[in-house]
């Protein structure tokens, strides 16, 4: 199955329990694909064989093993570029990219802007282009990643940066967490009609065995509490949970993230 972004066909490859590896089809070079965050090689190789495709490049958002673990084996398929953030823990990287730079593949007809989005990890980046956002574990549908290395101020700033992208941007994140995230989102905002409607749709697609992703940024701004830290309802819920007034969005985010960490 291919998922059509605004100008891209993007194929989900499932890995581990709930990871997605995204294969971006070249709009210009038939059967050439770019893999995003291949934590596991075997399912990518199986999909390449099934579709008769070949791997042209690898994009990495951050250093966690479930996002980079398949790179050494995939590089045995051919000498493909491996593009990732400035992080010594990503030893297979062949090109380092930083905030504001572009990652261009002229022969493939692909071009992405690099966005630094620290919080989940300090060196985390996202790739944005062709109406698509590949955001790793920074932004999830109806949620966000845990802060393993960053601060609430950093993570909130990263999510605010992503929130400012066009509303029709397709959001391709690293995990199938949407249903669980919506349970938390509706605990924060029980009367959020967009989240309630989305929950019903997610339940249907997951029951059919299909991915809930990609989402769109416009939808996320309506349903994702971590993108709504300046919303009065979300601020009030966070303040009630914290037992104290909260006036800054970063403080609201910090309370929400700690609340979610304990949420079951």
Is residue 120 annotated as a catalytic residue, yes or no? yes
Compute and round to an integer the Cα radius of gyration of the chain: 18
Judge whether 241 counts as a catalytic residue. no
| Residue of 63, 124, 130, 175 with catalytic role | 175
DSSP letter string over 40-94? Answer: -SHHHHHHHHHHT-EEEEEE-S---HHHHTTHHHHHTT----EEE-S-TT-TT-S
Which among 134, 188, 136, 189 is positioned nearest to 165, based on CA atoms? 134
**131: nearest Cα among 10, 35, 11, 2:** 10
Q: Is 211 exposed, middle or buried (0-12, 13-18, 19+ CB in 10 A)?
A: middle
Would you call 87 a catalytic residue per the annotation? Answer: no
Q: Say whether 137 is catalytic.
A: yes
Q: Is 67 tagged catalytic?
A: yes
- Out of 63, 120, 124, 130, pick the active-site residue: 120
Candidates 37, 63, 87, 137; catalytic one = 137
Residue 98: in which H helix or E strand, if any? none
Q: Are strands 19-25 and 32-36 parallel, antiparallel or unpaired?
A: antiparallel
Catalytic residue among 37, 63, 66, 251: 66
Query: Which strands, in side-by-side order, build the sheet including 82-84?
Result: 3-4, 9-15, 19-25, 32-36, 54-59, 82-84, 95-96
124 is catalytic: no
Q: Which of 62, 63, 124, 130 is catalytic?
A: 62
| Positions marked catalytic | 62, 64, 66-67, 120, 137, 175
């Amino acid at each position: 199955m291919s998922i059509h972004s605004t100008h891209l066909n993007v194929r989900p490859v499932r890995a581990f329990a709930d990871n997605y590896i995204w294969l971006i089809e070249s709009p210009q070079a038939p059967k050439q694909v770019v893999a995003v965050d291949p934590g596991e090689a075997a399912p990518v190789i199986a999909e390449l064989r099934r579709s008769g495709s070949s791997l042209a490049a690898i994009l990495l958002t951050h250093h966690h093993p479930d996002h980079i673990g398949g790179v050494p084996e995939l590089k045995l398929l051919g000498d493909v570029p491996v593009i990732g953030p400035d992080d010594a823990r990503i030893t297979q990287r062949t090109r380092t990219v930083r905030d504001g730079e572009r990652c261009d593949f002229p022969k493939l007809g692909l071009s992405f802007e690099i966005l630094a989005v620290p919080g989940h990890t300090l060196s985390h980046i996202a790739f944005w282009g062709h109406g698509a956002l590949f955001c790793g574990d920074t932004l999830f549908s109806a949620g966000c990643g845990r802060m393993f290395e960053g601060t609430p101020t950093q993570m909130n700033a990263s999510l605010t940066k992503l929130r400012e992208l066009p509303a029709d941007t397709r959001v391709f994140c690293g995990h199938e967490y949407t249903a669980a995230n919506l349970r938390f989102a509706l605990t924060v905002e029980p009367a959020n009609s967009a989240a309630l409607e989305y929950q019903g749709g997610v339940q249907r697609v997951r029951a059919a065995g299909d991915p809930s992703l990609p989402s769109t940024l416009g939808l996320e701004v309506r349903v994702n509490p971590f993108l709504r830290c300046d919303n009065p309802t979300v601020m009030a819920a966070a303040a009630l949970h914290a037992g104290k007034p909260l006036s800054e969005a970063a403080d609201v985010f910090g309370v929400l993230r700690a609340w979610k960490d304990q949420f079951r």
